[in-house]
Copies of this chain bind each other. A is one copy, B any other.
Amino acid sequence: MMIVSSSARTMDPQKVLEKIGKLQASDLLPQNMENWEQTELFLKEVVRILLAYIKEENDRSSKILEFHHPAEMATLCDLQIPEKPQNLEDLLKSCEAVLKLGVKTGHPRFFNQISCGLDLVSMAGEWLTATANTNMFTYEISPVFILMEKEVTRKMIELIGWGEGEGDAIFAPGGAIANLYAMNAARHAKFPRVKPLGMTDIPTLCCFTSEDSHYSIKGAAAVTGVGTDMCFNIPTDSRGRMIPEALEMEVIKRKKMGLHPFFVSATAGTTVYGAWDPLHQIADICERHHLWFHVDAAWGGGLLLSPEYRHRLSGIERANSLTWNPHKLMGALLQCSACFIRQDGLLFQTNQMSADYLFQQDKPYDVSYDTGDKAMQCGRHNDIFKLWLMWRSKGMEGYRAQVNRLMELAAYFTARIKQTEGYELVVDPPEFLNICFWYVPPSLRHLDEAEKKARLEKIAPKIKAKMMERGTTMVGYQPDKQRPNFFRMIISNQAITRHDLDFLVQEIIDIGKGL
């Protein structure tokens, strides 16, 4: 592997196309084992396209997107499945076209989602994952990745702060499924007979979450047959944090009505405001009323990596379960999400179906390493390698610095907003890396509050639409309760600099001027 053949060199794309453009996939490996050289040229040409994209994405002067309406977009890219095979030139052109028409979510000025940025080590990890193309159900076919998952989750459990012998985990395809795992495990812990016999013979279950929590908690209530109306919304304070007294009142009220409370989901870092529910107080209530205490730390979990800020999650060590998405604050590629269950063995008990064809007991190794039977999924994508490789590349120290730096940038942006005319914070000071704000154009500034509010509702969508036309930056907006549409700025991309934040502040002013 030390000597590189001349064919392995990256050549002029035009020459590559002359050489392999008219070939088809069936001329390459694994269909045609003779043509390694051509196979290598094709894959290297794909990589050349990807590298050019990465370079452009990191160039701040490049556009984040070229916006097209769906009907127009459909004419710009031939998406249909053809009768005849497309040749390699067509495939390579498709790759370029798709990247050109897409949204550069790793661009340093893309602030639109909670998961932003493209960590290139994590990306390299995902390329390897694709090449290894294995499945996480057994040690038999994924020996290294299974051990890696064990090791990384052990580290994460240590950060959560659970005790010796406590804690089990499963990587899940996203936070919504992780929350579903937790609710299902909670039900199993309380009423194990639901697994065989269903919900018929038990009291009417109900659960609680704050009105600012993620919609997947209600989603889990729907899927499990608990019911969305049996998932009660607890009011939040003006900063978006669950009011614990309101929770306890609601629990007592629902008990009196004959319902059976079983599950409370607190949020560590809410989706819109980034708020921190008071975990200790909620844990106390859960203890008093014998309720399962779940923490949805999908977004906020990453803060456990910072000794300076992890106190915001104080009380998380009392959780019975929690969701933590490394594809959010930690910057792993999508998807990378895990559900942690404190009671060891419960994941197995809840989910095992003991399929003979996969989980034979007479295998030649210790079959306790076959994690598949604790999963709700059968086949399970390898989401661990991209996280592990990235984490190794940063170490604990690097992550600490990265997370702290993002928190400092959020403080900087907050200060900028506060001192810039026309900007108003929705929550002041922000709780986390979400900075929610209105931009009030000059024409609205002297209106009375009621009219200003009514007209403000339409400002964010207008600014956003123009922003997408310009393609220079992207930030999300939404209304909330009685509040008119406001922007939600997210600072989670490690590529962001102060200069990018200054840019956003000015860009919105420029766009908003004429409104």
Contact = CB atoms under 8 A, between A and B. Distances in A.
Interface stretch (A29-37, A235-243, A409-417, A448-456): A29-37
Which of A53, A134, A230: most chain B Cβ within 10 A? A134
B194 A480 contact: no
A52 B1 CA distance: 7
A437 to B, nearest CB: 15
A70 interface: yes
A470 interface: no
B99 A128 contact: yes
Contact of A128 (B26, B42, B46): B46
Interface stretch (A136-144, A245-253, A423-431, A504-512): A136-144
Contacts of A65: 143
B147 A74 contact: yes
A396 B305 CA distance: 50
A49 to B, nearest CB: 8
B85 A105 contact: no
Copies in the complex: 2
Interface stretch (A287-295, A339-347, A349-357): A349-357
A385 B24 contact: no
A140 B410 CA distance: 25
B131 A377 contact: no
Interface in A216-238: 216, 218-219, 221-230
30 contacts: A1-B13, A8-B48, A24-B393, A43-B47, A43-B124, A69-B366, A70-B366, A73-B147, A79-B388, A81-B396, A82-B392, A83-B396, A84-B395, A90-B392, A94-B392, A98-B132, A103-B141, A118-B131, A140-B468, A174-B379, A177-B377, A197-B230, A198-B227, A198-B230, A216-B353, A223-B224, A224-B224, A327-B379, A360-B478, A364-B468
A311 interface: no
Contacts of A11: 4
A173 interface: yes
Given A113-B141, A335-B381, 19 more contacts: A25-B398, A28-B120, A29-B495, A39-B54, A46-B127, A80-B155, A83-B395, A102-B132, A130-B130, A177-B376, A194-B227, A195-B228, A197-B227, A215-B355, A223-B376, A224-B225, A356-B478, A364-B464, A381-B381
Interface stretch (A199-207, A277-285, A312-320): A199-207
A330 to B, nearest CB: 12
A269 interface: no
Nearest to A217: B353
Contacts of A485: 362
A224 B350 CA distance: 13
A43 B51 CA distance: 8
Interface in A465-507: 465, 468, 476-480, 485, 488, 493-495
Nearest to A80: B151
Contact of A55 (B36, B148, B222): B36
Interface residues of A, number: 183
A145 B366 CA distance: 42
Contacts of A479: 356, 360
A365 B70 contact: yes
A12 B450 CA distance: 69
B196 A30 contact: no
A91 B2 contact: no
Interface string A148-184: 1001100100000000000000000111110010001
A21 interface: no
Contact of A131 (B53, B216, B272, B389): B53
Nearest to A337: B379
Contacts of A422: none
Contact of A215 (B180, B353, B494, B495): B353
